[in-house]
């Protein structure tokens, strides 16, 4: 005995079957059109300027010789700078924790400080 289907279920079943058939037709058309993705079609090259191209590089490209001894690997050290002395007034100080804020007299900037940063 077959199950009884409501009209909505029948319509959904027809849509699902139609969708499946459409998908199969598209797949067959793709096979017949001959659009194959060969390995050669997928290769991309990078030129001397870093741009991606589809043409292979030419052999007569001028290459620049680089001396590996001239390459600086580390950042240069800063020369010892004399610390600048700023003048300001203490806006807030917490003695129990040892930190506070100093307002610069020449501007509106505030600086955080801790007693570990104090030079005696």
108: left (phi over 0), alpha (psi -120 to 50) or beta: alpha
**Kind and range of the H or E element at 101?**
strand 99-104
Residue 3: inside a domain: no
- What's the domain range around 55? 8-73+83-117
- The domain total for the chain is 1
User: For 17-63, what is each residue's pLDDT tens digit?
Assistant: 999 999 999 988 877 776 666 777 778 888 878 889 888 877 766 77
User: For 62-112, what is each residue's pLDDT tens digit?
Assistant: 777 889 888 888 877 777 777 777 789 999 999 999 999 999 888 888 989
What per-residue string of b and e applies to 52-91 under the rule 16 or more CB within 10 Å gives b? eeeeeeeeeeeeeeeeeeeeeeeeeeeeeeeeeeeebeee
Strand partners, 110: 103
What is the reported pLDDT for 43?
86
Residue 61: inside a domain: yes
Residue 92: inside a domain: yes
Residue 1: inside a domain: no
With H, G, I as helix, E, B as strand and everything else as coil, classify residue 116.
helix
50: left (phi over 0), alpha (psi -120 to 50) or beta: left
């Amino acid at each position: 005995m077959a199950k009884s289907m409501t009209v909505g279920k029948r319509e959904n079943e027809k849509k699902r079957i139609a969708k499946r058939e459409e998908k199969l037709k598209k797949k067959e058309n793709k096979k017949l059109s001959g659009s194959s993705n060969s390995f050669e079609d997928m290769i991309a090259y990078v030129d001397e300027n870093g741009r991606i191209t589809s043409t292979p590089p030419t052999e007569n490209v001028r290459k620049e010789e680089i001396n590996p001894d001239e390459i600086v690997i580390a950042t240069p050290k800063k020369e010892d700078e004399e610390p600048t002395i700023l003048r300001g007034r203490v806006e807030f100080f917490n003695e129990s924790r040892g930190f506070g804020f100093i307002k610069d007299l020449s501007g509106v900037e505030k600086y955080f400080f801790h007693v570990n940063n104090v030079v005696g």
